[in-house]
């Protein structure tokens, strides 16, 4: 059973994750943008429109502007999330030497490992705390209670569980696995050359929950990460104004 969950299921998970995302986006693309329903003030051209969309995505500008108290939790949560994702890829692939590889003249391997360690812990804690904040917000504010379905809480709980186990492995001496152990196993998966799974129940749980997240992702509101681009493509687009000046008048504009 365990063998299935760690050596075989991951392939299905990845297929479902990538396939699901493509399928969802394909479904969005079937429908047309029938009328130009851009929100004004209109961007003057496509470059301006795309910059505006990126600005919104990077800073959660509307959240900051219209609900700062939400931003306090939402933005750090997402920044930490993406840092952690990046950290997982780079840290495991380079065994924590990513900063050394980037700036070899500046940072030694040991320093890089320390930095990787520190940043991982830092963002791990931010992520967890911000998620707790968002959950409490959802559980207490009237407007959030009436809007939420069970799944909205479950998404937060799932992320909390993943990061909870992750943080535990990091913070408790000897509870986790080393980058090298994880890398050996993952390399085995990527190269279709199964390697033994590290003998650690926390790591097993962490690995399983992430798979669950990846399976749920394409079939949930988490698709908002792509949705934001497709939605804003509709409502943030340029519009060409008709020229002013009236024909056949005695008092002409020019």
Partner 1 sequence: MPLVDGLNQPVKAGPKEFEGLHLVPVPDEEKPAEALKWLDYYRKERRSLVMAMESCVKCGLCAEHCHTYLGTKDPNNIPAGRADLMRKVYKRYFTVQGKLFGKLVGAEEISMRTLEEWFSYYYQCTECRRCGHVCPFGIDTCEVTMIGRQILYNIGMIPKLHAATDVAILRTGNHMALTPSGIVDTLDFLSDEIEEERGFRIEFPVDKPNSDILYVPSSADFFLNPDTLKGAAEFFEYIGANWTISTRITEAGNFGYLSDQTRVQRELVNRVWEEVARLGVKKVVWGECGHGWRAAKMYIPTMSDYPTRMRVPITHILDEVAAYIKAGKLKLNPKNNFRAQGLPVTLHDPCNYARACGLVENLRVDLYASVTEVREMNPNREKTFCCGGGSGVLFDDPEMYQLRIKFSQKKADMIRATGAKVLCAPCSICKAQFHAMIPEHKLDVKLYGLIDLVGAALDFKGHRQV
- The answer to whether 96 and 112 are in contact (CB under 8 A) is yes
Applying CB under 6 A, the span of 30-38, 73-81, 119-127, 246-254 interacting with ligand HEM comes to 73-81
* Window contacting ligand HEM (CB under 6 A); options: 34-42, 87-95, 151-159, 244-252: 151-159
Residue 85 near residue 101, CB atoms below 8 Å: no
Q: How far is CA 30 from the centre of its chain?
A: 25
Which does residue 30 touch among ligand HEM, partner 1, none (CB within 5 to 8 A, set by kind)?
Answer: partner 1
Other beta carbons less than 10 A from residue 151's beta carbon: 12
User: How open is the CA angle 187-215-75, to the nearest 5 degrees?
Assistant: 90
**Residue 81 or residue 107: which is nearer to ligand HEM going by CB?**
81
**Cα 12 from Cα 2, distance rounded (Å):** 15
Residues 192-231 that bind ligand HEM (CB under 6 A): 222, 224-225, 228
Query: Angle, to 10 degrees, between the axis of helix 109-140 and the axis of helix 68-94?
Result: 150
| Site string (15-54) toward partner 1, x via CB under 8 A | ---------x--xxxxxxxxxxx-xxxx------------
Q: How far is the CB of 94 from partner 1 (least distance, A)?
A: 33
Contact residues: ligand HEM, CB under 6 A: 57, 60, 63, 70, 74, 78, 81, 134, 138, 152, 155-156, 159, 222, 224-225, 228
């Amino acid at each position: 059973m365990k063998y299935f969950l760690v050596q075989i299921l991951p392939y299905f998970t990845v297929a479902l994750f990538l396939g699901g995302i493509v399928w969802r986006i394909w479904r969005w693309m079937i429908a047309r943008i029938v009328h130009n329903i851009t929100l004004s003030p209109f961007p003057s051209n496509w470059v301006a429109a795309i910059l505006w969309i990126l600005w919104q995505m990077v800073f959660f500008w509307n959240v900051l502007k219209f609900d700062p108290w939400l931003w306090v939790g939402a933005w750090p949560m997402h920044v930490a999330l993406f840092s952690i994702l990046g950290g997982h890829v780079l840290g495991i692939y380079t065994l924590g030497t990513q900063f050394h590889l980037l700036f070899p003249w500046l940072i030694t391997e040991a320093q890089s490992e320390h930095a990787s360690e520190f940043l991982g812990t830092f963002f791990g804690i931010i992520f967890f705390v911000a998620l707790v904040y968002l959950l409490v917000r959802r559980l207490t504010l009237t407007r959030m209670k009436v809007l939420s379905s069970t799944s909205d809480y479950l998404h937060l709980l799932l992320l909390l569980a993943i990061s909870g186990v992750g943080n535990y492995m990091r913070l408790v001496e000897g509870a986790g696995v080393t980058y090298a152990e994880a890398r050996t196993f993952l390399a085995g998966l990527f190269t279709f050359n199964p390697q033994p799974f590290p003998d650690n129940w926390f790591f097993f749980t962490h690995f399983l929950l992430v798979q669950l997240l990846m399976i749920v992702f394409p079939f949930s509101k988490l698709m908002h990460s792509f949705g934001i681009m497709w939605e804003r493509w509709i409502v943030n687009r340029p519009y060409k104004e008709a020229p002013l000046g009236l024909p056949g008048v005695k008092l002409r504009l020019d």
